[in-house]
Structure 1
Amino acid sequence: MITSIFSKSKPINFIIVFFITLLAFIVASLKLTHEPINIDFILEKSGLFAISYISMWVLNFIVSKNNLVKNNNFEILIYSLFLLAIVQTTTNINMLCANFFVLLALRRILSIRSQKNVNKKLFDAAFWIAIAALFYFWSILFFALIIVALVLYTDNKLNHWIIPFTGVLTVFIFVVSVSILFHNDFFSAFKSLPEYSYDYSVYNSLPFLVAITMLFSFGVWSALFFIKSIKQKKKALRPSFNIVLFALIAAFLVVVFAPEKDGSEFIFMFAPLAIIITNYIQVIQEKWFKEVFLLLLLLVPFIILVL
């Protein structure tokens, strides 16, 4: 039943994930925030919800335009379920904004495949990643995806290797200028700094352990099949799938280096994991196993809510 609903791209799928995402925000508001419910609180949460929901639309656009999945909506369902599993990802505005800009950058990086307007796409991708890094410094790790894309597309044009750095430099100069104008120094406008921590003790709670186990067990199992399937893809599409894999690695490193580990750092893993798991779901031949696999993905976030 679950597979039949999301196996085709339909408007009702976006309505379902809308309510799953809304539930994640409601649970987070009840469990994690202690602010009085007033107009400011509602407006703030509405803005965060809008960013999260639009991010799912961007994810859907990415997979459909780059043929990363077949004509289905499993990726947005999985993304919304991840939000529900780790509701902390819905509370941090800096993380949500950084993730949104990383998705915009990923969209531009993957579109390099067409070899049209490459200069503009490289600049845009670097620009969005630099903007993301302003909200959360370790987002800068996704800059490596631009380098990976240039290597995979065997691009030997010198200007293509220089342009991404000009995109980052543009943002840097702009922020320094703002800092000089409003703070009378060079770096006060930089709110996100290169701090890191290896203290993972916050993950020792039962809800975190269950959620992280779900992410890594489903993710690793699906990734093994994903890596194996890349060789079977059309040659023109292989770089895109490799970039998704590297995006997951970059997202994992963000979690490793995160200075404040409160769960919100996992937001960067959701999009690449959703794409990888969706690809695995598509190759499952046994209908009963596909249903069980999706049912587990669906039930675990709801089980976590009562832990």
Structure 2
Amino acid sequence: MITSIFSKSRPINFIIVFFIVLIAFITARIELIKGSITMVFVFKQLVLFGVCYASILLLNFIVSKNNLSNKNNYEILLFSLFLLAITSSTSHVNVIFSNFFVMLGLRRIISLRSQINVKKKLFDAAFWIAIAALFYFWAILFFVIILISLLLYSETKINHWIIPFTGVITVFLITIGTSIILNDNFFELFKSFPEVSYDLSSYNSTQYLVAITLLLSFGIWSSLFYIKSIKQKKKAFRASFNTILFAGVIALVIIILAPKKDGSEFLFAFAPLSIIITNYIEIIEEKWFKEVFLSVLILVPFILLFL
């Protein structure tokens, strides 16, 4: 029953996901509201909610455009459920914007598969990831995926290796120029710096422990089958699937390095994890097991709302 609803792309799926994200967003905001609610506050939250939902629509576009799934909507359902499982993932403004720009960068990296406008795509990917790093420094680690993609496509042209760095330098120069004009200071707009923390004490609560266990257990299990299935994909698509896998690994590194572990850092992992688990759901042959697998992913986030 549950699997049949999202097994095909339907408008109702996006409506369901919209309300799941809305619940996650409102739940997080209830904990953040300490004073009176103003129009400015409401407008700001509407913008942030729009970016969160736009990230899900962008994920759907990336998946459908690059054939990363079998034309279903499991990935957007999973993304919204992850937001619900860790509602604090929507609480950090900079991380929300950073993740959105990272996904724009990943979209361009994955589209390298067509080998059309390669130079433009490499520049765009680096440009978006550099902007993401302005909001959250460790997002710059996703730049490594561009270099890995060049290796996957056995790229030998020197200019293709140089272009991504010009994208980053362009953002750096634009930011400095804007900072000088607005603040008469070179680095005033650079709000994100390379800080690190390995203190995991903030995760020491029932909600975090259950949610993280859910993500890790289902993610690792699905990844084992995902890695195995890459070899069975058409050669032209293997690089795209490998890119998603590396994105998941880098997201895990960011979670470990995050200077402030408030749950928002998990947002970077939601998109690649959604695609990886979606691919596993698609290969499950036993219908009852597929229903149970997806039911757990749906029920646990809702149960966590009452803990």
Q: TM-score range by the shorter chain?
A: over 0.9
Indicate the residue corresponding to 1:11 in structure 2.
11
2:42 aligns to what? 42
Measured against aligned partners, the alpha-carbon deviations of 1:137-176 in whole angstroms (never above 9, x if no partner) come to 0000000110011000001000000000000000000111
- Which residues of 2 match residues 152-167 of structure 1 at below 5 A? 152-167=152-167
Distance between the aligned counterparts of 1:112 and 1:25, measured in 2? Answer: 34
Once residues 33 and 249 of structure 1 are traced to their aligned partners in structure 2, the CA distance between those partners, rounded to angstroms, is 34
Counterpart contact for 1:48–1:91, Cα < 8 Å? no
How does 1:199-238 map onto structure 2 within 5 Å?
199-238=199-238
Give the conservation status (yes or no) of the 8 Å contact 1:98–1:132: yes
Shift, 1:283, TM fit? 0.3
Asked if 2 retains the 8 angstrom alpha-carbon contact of 1:175 and 1:189, the reply is yes
Superposition pairs of residues 58-137 of structure 1, within 5 angstroms:
58-137=58-137
1:90, distance to aligned residue in structure 2 (A): 1.2
* Distance in structure 1 (CA, Å) of the matches to 2:71 and 2:178: 45
The within-5 A match list for 1:158-307 is 158-307=158-307
CA distance in 2, matches of 1:92, 1:44: 12
Distance 2:32 2:177 in 1: 37
Could you tell me which runs of 5 or more consecutive residues in structure 1 were left unpaired when the two chains were aligned: none
1:221-248 CA-to-partner distances (Å, cap 9, x unmatched) read: 0000000111011111111110000000
The two structures have a TM-score, normalised by structure 1, of 0.99
Partner Cα separation in structure 1 for residue 25 and residue 248 of structure 2 = 24
TM-score, normalised via structure 2 length? 0.99
- Between 1:22-31 and 1:125-134, the stretch displaced more is 22-31
Q: Deviations over 1:63-113 (max 9, x none)?
A: 011111001000000000000011111111100000000000000000000
Identity %: 64
Deviation at 1:213, TM superposition (A): 0.5
Distance of 1:295 and 1:37 partners within structure 2: 36
Shift in Å, 1:40: 1.8
User: How far is 1:189 from its partner?
Assistant: 1.3
Code of the residue aligned with 1:50 in structure 2: it is: G
What is the rounded CA distance, in whole Å, between the counterparts of 1:103 and 1:35 in structure 2?
33
Q: CA deviation at 1:270?
A: 0.1
Amino acid corresponding to residue 281 of structure 2 in structure 1? I
How big is each residue's C-alpha offset from its partner over 1:16-37, in whole Å with a ceiling of 9 and x where there is no partner? Answer: 0000000001111113332322
> Would you say how many aligned residue pairs link Structure 1 and Structure 2?
307
Moved over 6 A (4+): none
Q: RMSD value over aligned CA atoms?
A: 0.8
Question: Retained in 2: the 8 A contact 1:129–1:143?
Answer: yes
What secondary structure, in the 3-state scheme, does the structure 2 residue paired with 1:285 have?
A: coil
The letter of the residue matching 2:186 is: F
Structure 1 residue 39, shift from structure 2 partner:
1.5
Contact 1:6 1:74 in 2 (8 A): yes
In 2, the alpha carbon distance for the partners of 1:172 and 1:27 equals 36
The amino acid that maps onto 2:157 is K
Equivalent-residue separation in structure 1 for 2:59 and 2:142 (angstroms): 16
**Separation in structure 1 between the aligned mates of residue 178 and residue 138 of structure 2, nearest angstrom:** 22
One-letter amino acid of the counterpart of residue 53, structure 1: Y
Alpha-carbon distance between aligned partners in 2 of 1:148 and 1:35, rounded to the nearest angstrom: 47
Kindly provide the amino acid, as one letter, of the partner of residue 305 in structure 1: L
Partners of 1:179 and 1:188 within 8 A in 2:
yes
Alignment check: 8 A CA contact 1:35 1:41 kept: no
Contact preservation (8 Å) 1:197, 1:257 = yes
Q: Distance in 1 between matches of 2:35 and 2:275?
A: 35
3-state SS of paired residue (1:236): helix
Where in structure 2 are there 5+ consecutive unaligned residues? none
Residues of 2 paired with 1:279 and 1:35: CA distance? 44
Letter in 2 for 1:236: A
